[in-house]
Amino acid sequence: MITMKFGGTSVGDIQRLQEVGSIVRSNLFHNPVVVASAMGGVTNTLLETAQFAVRRDTARVGNNIEALKKKHFAIVDALVRQPERKKEVIEGHSQNFEELSNLFHGVSLLRELSIRSLDAIASFGEILSCVQIAAILTDCGIPAEFVDSRTLVRTDARFGEAAVDFSFTNERIRERLMPLVEKKTVPVVTGFIGSTEDGLTTTLGRSGSDYTGSIVGAALGSEEIWIWTDVDGVMTADPRYVKGAVVLPQISYREAAEMSYFGAKVIHPKTMLPAIESGIPIRIKNTFNPSHPGTLIASVSNSVERIVKNVTSIDGLGLVAVEGNGMVGVPGVSARIFTALARVQVNVMMISQASSEHNVCVVIPQQDCARAVKELRAEFEIDIARRTIDDIKLQEPMSIVAVVGEGMKGLRGIAGRTFSAVAKAGVNIVAIAQGSSELNISLLVEQADARKAVAAIHDLVVCH
């Protein structure tokens, strides 16, 4: 059995969906289970429309709903030919659009838009997409059935990025999908969405369909999990910004997780977790070029071919520094910093402290900076008044540039080559961090310099 997840671009237009049909058909002997995203751009449009609704911009809400209807109905019109089935899908879509319009109306009336409402609104993207995919497959002679993952994936109530209750979820997935697979019906499962015990709709975080793909694949004990996307595989850098980026034939789970955490958008960072536990390989493949072998993500990396696998960057960050001569040798300062940040729910992405202990730097998302600085100023109010701590300093916008590769472990010179590549590009490094796992070297630079640094590292260290 193979679990196949199709991303937004892969289900985004008539031609792509025909390709999905032929990919599923040619893999029928694998007993495929399909997980799919919303059509490309739809989730963004839904979230944007919610913002228009809360501002009571009814004209824009109306325009967006019309555009979404047009997009989906055009697909049904072109690809679902059997009249009864077409009628059924059109009725289903119309009902979903009516519900969606009601939600926007509710948001407008209340002038209130919670993350919980955003999840309910966003869920329509995957529902509409998967309903039509199941119909399209059935229409071309491949028995398929739409499965709403909210009946399978049980989560907590952390809307926007809910955590999965695996014991419940795995059981439900097996119960619901195995019988379909056994009777040779392809399940078409919505990615990205789940529900709480009370039946409230949640999402697994942006790009979360990859995660659903591996949750389903692992629960079913699939032989492999295939993530179909719009590039040939995981590449040495983001191909949109680095022209010479090349495909990596094989990387490890840890490398993939590290890269995606630091901005390689091609796969969601949590995707690797269920696969690691059950030892199932993940393959990244291109719907535009299905015969390409893609990238295999498994327990071992292929370090012979390339030591440093990839350079990524993540923008939109702020550097918060706590500085002062009075901090030197005083126990507990770091503990107070992290406790204060945890109190206001700020996630720390990178930490750096030089051994002089004169300065502790934390890198956090820009949207959390104001909250973090306020809390830290309150925490260190007395120390600041006594001048043992100078002040809490903030620098933004910043980017983390990360170099990833398991082969770097124990190998001298990679850090040196990385720093000199960045220096050659004329970019100033603001802070550095390397974990003792030596899987990753992270550099903090000003956001305006990030692309230059990535390109230089790519050319001089990754693909030299």
**Sign of the alpha-carbon torsion through 144, 145, 146, 148:** negative
Q: Binds 231, which of ligand ADP, Mg ion, ligand ASP, none (CB < 5 to 8 A, cut-off by type)?
A: ligand ADP
Exposure of 212 by Cβ count < 10 A (0-12 exposed, 13-18 middle, 19+ buried)? buried
For residue 330, the tally of other CB atoms under 10 A from its CB is 14
**391-404 and 33-36 beta bridge pairing:** unpaired
Q: Binds 9, which of ligand ADP, ligand ASP, Mg ion, none (CB < 5 to 8 A, cut-off by type)?
A: ligand ADP
Q: Whose Cβ is closer to ligand ASP: residue 248's or residue 267's?
A: 267
**250-252 and 391-404 beta bridge pairing:** unpaired
- Residue 125 binds to ligand ASP (criterion: CB under 6 A): yes
Q: How many residues bind ligand ASP (CB under 6 A)?
A: 13
Q: Binds 38, which of ligand ADP, Mg ion, ligand ASP, none (CB < 5 to 8 A, cut-off by type)?
A: ligand ASP
Residue of 390, 388, 369 lying closest to 322 (CA atoms): 390
Which residues between 157 and 216 bind ligand ADP (CB under 6 A)?
Answer: 207
Residue 189: beta bridge partners? Answer: 35, 147
Q: Whose Cβ is closer to ligand ADP: residue 49's or residue 207's?
A: 207
Instruction: Determine the residue with CB nearest ligand ADP.
Output: 7
Q: Which of 239, 281, 326, 397 binds ligand ADP (CB under 6 A)?
A: 239
Exposure of 151 by Cβ count < 10 A (0-12 exposed, 13-18 middle, 19+ buried)? middle
Tokens 């923008």 belong to 315
Q: Which of 207, 212, 301, 303 binds Mg ion (CB under 5 A)?
A: 207
- Tokens for 405, please give them: 């590769």
d(CA 149, CA 123): 10
- Residue 269 binds to ligand ASP (criterion: CB under 6 A): no
Residue 310 CB, shortest distance to ligand ADP, in Å, is 6
Residue 215 CB, shortest distance to ligand ASP, in Å, is 13
Q: Whose Cβ is closer to ligand ASP: residue 265's or residue 377's?
A: 265
The binding track of 172-211 with respect to ligand ASP, each residue x by CB under 6 A or -, is -------------------xx-------------xxxxx-
The binding track of 301-330 with respect to ligand ASP, each residue x by CB under 6 A or -, is ------------------------------
d(CA 448, CA 316): 11
Distant-in-sequence contacts of 89-96, Cβ < 8 A, 24+ apart: 89/131, 89/132, 89/135, 92/131, 93/69, 93/128, 93/131, 93/132, 96/124, 96/127, 96/128, 96/131
The binding track of 205-234 with respect to ligand ADP, each residue x by CB under 6 A or -, is --x---------------------xxx--x
- Tokens for 172, please give them: 């439900």
| DSSP letter for each residue of 343-394 | HTTPPP-EEEE-TT-SEEEEEEEGGGHHHHHHHHHHHTHHHHHTTSS-EEEE
With H, G, I as helix, E, B as strand and everything else as coil, classify residue 150. Answer: helix
Residue 206 CB, shortest distance to Mg ion, in Å, is 8
Residue 439 CB, shortest distance to Mg ion, in Å, is 23
Q: Whose Cβ is closer to ligand ASP: residue 64's or residue 207's?
A: 207
Binding site for Mg ion (CB under 5 A): 7, 207
Residues that bind ligand ADP (CB under 6 A): 7-10, 37, 207, 229-231, 234-235, 237-240, 264-266, 310
Residues that bind ligand ASP (CB under 6 A): 7-8, 37-38, 43, 125, 191-192, 206-210
